[in-house]
A and B are shown apart, each in its own frame.
Chain A
Amino acid sequence: MIKRSFFALSKPRLTYDLLEPDPDGPRAIPLPDLVTLLLTEAIDNTRPALIKKGDPMKKGQKLALYEDSTAYVVSPVAGTIKSIDTYPDDFGEIATSITIAHDPEKTSEIEPLELPEDISSAAVHLKKLPGAPPFDILADENFTIRTIVITGADTDLLTTTSQYVSTAHARDLEQGAAILKRLTGTARVCLALPEGINGHNRFNSLQVLKTSPVYPDTLPAMIMKDHLDTVLPAGKTPEDMGICFIRAEAVVSLARTYEKKALVFEKHLTLVDKAGFRHRIKAVIGTPLRHIFNQLDIQINDQDRVIIGGPMQGSATFTTHHPVTPETDTVVVQDREILPKISDTPCINCGKCIQICPASIPVNMLVRFLEVDQFEEAAEKGDLEACIECGLCGFVCTSQIALGQYIRLGKHELHKLRAEV
């Protein structure tokens, strides 16, 4: 963990971890006996379900709960469904977890794939590729996407997954970008890549945006501001402004799917263990984290923290059975001894958050509104919606207020309030 320096006249500077010049390849994690898939739809017992416990599965088969569901997952293995359970996320939204027992004898049972020739059928078949390509957004007629930015620069600290995938698989990335252009008809596809790593010269057909190594300059809103001359209006998404961000790994997966004419299921990730050592691994989507920890001999004890994502923006999971999903780039394990404290001391108005906030939000005012649940006022006078959720205010807070939690909860409640009106 990065601590405050002895002298702190200016604001602290957190920098991204850059890919080493000659990176090793990922360690492949063997396929577990059980894979778990997370489906973003709640179980509704009153409706007839399409799938049930004991159903046989082919590799590559699409699973959806109901006839009219748009949410789906794709089975990475052939086998049978072992269980279907509800699975709450950290805001209490209910998802469904589907556990599939892998049957090694049925490896040849693969669902045939017809390669999509337009973006809406890509949304129907390829949404769950490793890297989770945002085909829903690209296919949505409400958005006019003029620019696609491939994020080869990791958005959080400690991790190097995106940098590794984009530079080690530069050829696939360029091919994937070409397929993306063909499917969407978008003229401009750029690649955001941190300056200071090797491999910038591997891309001929893509415009490379060199991002600075200072956190949070690779977050979408910052890339838009610094490289695309577009300021993201408060409360809007990049899609509203005609810009779509896509993980480098999604583009690489797309190219491989078209090349092999079959779906791919292996996800690259960076796992940071308790000692801060970085493991680059490759695991099939659905692999429970516990299986990976066992493979790497990482001991998880009570009160440790397992973070899906990086230290500044990730989310902590409550179970080591949480699986690798198409979005999982990073897993950080923190020992309980080093967990920072959170206190209920009120804001002392020291101004460190104001000094560090990249979005110029009056965090000291904002937190006063959020503490008393005044969400509309927080949006109006505290600029709640301008927050890009980089987490820097919570990192420097002298009072150790859980600012990130207040802000995320505030946005969540604000959306609920506005939806009711």
Chain B
Amino acid sequence: MNNTKLTVSHAPFWHDGDSVFQKNLNYMLALLPAAIFGILQFGAPALGVMALSLSCAMFWELVINLVSKKPATIGDLEAAVIGLLFGMMLPAITPWWLILTGTFVAVFIGKMIFGGIGSSPFNPTLLGMAVLMMSWNMFFDFDTAYVDYDFAFTAMAPLAAVKTQGAAAADFFALGDLFLGREVGAIGAVFGLGLVLGGIYLILKGYSRWELSVSFIAGILITAFLFHAASPDAYAGPLFHLLSGYTLLGAFFLITESASSPVNRIPMLLYGFLGGFMIILMRNVGDYADGTILAILLVNVVSPLLDNIRPNALGKGMNNA
């Protein structure tokens, strides 16, 4: 017998070459246009917020890896995506301690205590954001956040304006301005065009599913249209809702988070629609100016239930004759 030591493993012996690292790298690439626009619009503080947020998220994951004596997992960039998304959802003048706390909640409570990547029942980024919004609501008032800035456009947070002044306030904002980022808001959420391009890139690459984004947008548009049609004075129109606040970020980057969303087609369509529906409900009936964060967290809970709607497996449920 010779001693050539062969590699032995099970089929399949081919792989398409995809990896979690690739997926997350593409996610970050897709987020870049909106993030860069945020830096151009809000200046160096925006860069600072996003850089701190991204590094904090990775730092917390590394700390938790070390404390729990597990191999370091930050190399898969999952924490980096959480951190970047988190930074993009904050105003540019967020204090450092808020970021440190928020990313800890996102990475530790949102992801690591459930067993790390893939196991989180909630979108980790949104969980961190929700805790910050509940605890330090004043830092999320985009009108006071940017008082020291001098903008060449209406420096009012669109959704807050509509909330306090009624649907007529929506007329202050041209839809084109909202889409091209000429509004105040979170660093990475204002540039609609960038988000749409990034989102379409991810969908074409197969890293996020069109079913989720499309049904989410449909949920927003249909629900907002019905409200608007019922009472045009009280409720803003569907396109205004689609282009303001976190909506587009939600449609292409938050609702599509894979661990907390369904995987079968019909459940994905229902889930996305439900997410869009809940957001408009929260904005128009609820107390929050922008319900995106809580609405998506809420539908996260429904995801496992929805995923029970699935085709029968081949030959399943037949009598065993």
Interface residues of A (CB under 8 A from B): 1-4, 6-9, 12, 90, 157, 221, 225, 231-236, 290, 300-307, 309, 311-321, 332, 334, 336, 339-343, 345-352, 354, 358-362, 364, 383, 386, 388-389, 391-392, 394-400, 402, 404-405, 408
Q: Is the CB of A316 within 8 A of B9?
A: yes
Q: Is the CB of A349 within 8 A of B1?
A: no
Q: Which 5 pairs between the two chains have the least Cβ-Cβ distance? A: A8-B206, A351-B263, A391-B12, A340-B15, A405-B10
Q: Is the CB of B310 within 8 A of A395?
A: no
Q: Is the CB of A354 within 8 A of B6?
A: no
Residue in B closest to A390 when the chains form the complex, CB atoms: B12
Q: Is the CB of A9 within 8 A of B12?
A: no
What are 15 A-B contacts with C-beta separation under 8 Å?
A1-B14, A1-B17, A4-B17, A8-B205, A221-B315, A234-B314, A234-B315, A236-B315, A290-B2, A304-B6, A318-B8, A360-B312, A361-B314, A400-B19, A402-B10
Main secondary structure of the interface of B (DSSP, over half): loop
Q: How far is the CA of A1 from the CA of B14 in the complex (A)?
A: 6
Q: Is the CB of A304 within 8 A of B318?
A: no
Interface residues of B (CB under 8 A from A): 1-2, 4-20, 22-23, 76, 115-119, 203-207, 209-210, 258-264, 307, 310-316, 318-321
Q: How far is the CA of A311 from the CA of B15 in the complex (A)?
A: 10
Q: How far is the CA of A157 from the CA of B316 in the complex (A)?
A: 27
| A379 CB, min distance to chain B CBs, angstroms | 10
| B85 CB, min distance to chain A CBs, angstroms | 16
| B168 CB, min distance to chain A CBs, angstroms | 41
Q: Is the CB of B313 within 8 A of A398?
A: no
Q: Is the CB of A4 within 8 A of B18?
A: yes
- Which one, B1, B12, B117, contacts A312 given CB within 8 A? B12
Q: Is the CB of A316 within 8 A of B12?
A: no
Q: Is the CB of A358 within 8 A of B314?
A: yes
Q: How far is the CA of A242 from the CA of B319 in the complex (A)?
A: 16
Q: Is the CB of B7 within 8 A of A336?
A: yes
Q: What chain A residues lie within 8 Å of B12 (beta carbons)?
A: 311-313, 391-392, 394-395, 404
Q: What chain B residues lie within 8 Å of A157 (beta carbons)?
A: 14
Q: What chain B residues lie within 8 Å of A3 (beta carbons)?
A: 16-17
Q: Is the CB of B20 within 8 A of A316?
A: no
Q: Is the CB of A395 within 8 A of B263?
A: no
Q: Is the CB of A312 within 8 A of B258?
A: no
Q: Is the CB of B6 within 8 A of A303?
A: yes
Q: Is the CB of B9 within 8 A of A360?
A: no
- Which one, A312, A359, A364, contacts B313 given CB within 8 A? A359
Q: Is the CB of B11 within 8 A of A391?
A: yes
Given contacts A2-B14, A312-B14, contact A346 B116 (CB under 8 A): yes
Given contacts A8-B205, A348-B258, contact A339 B313 (CB under 8 A): no
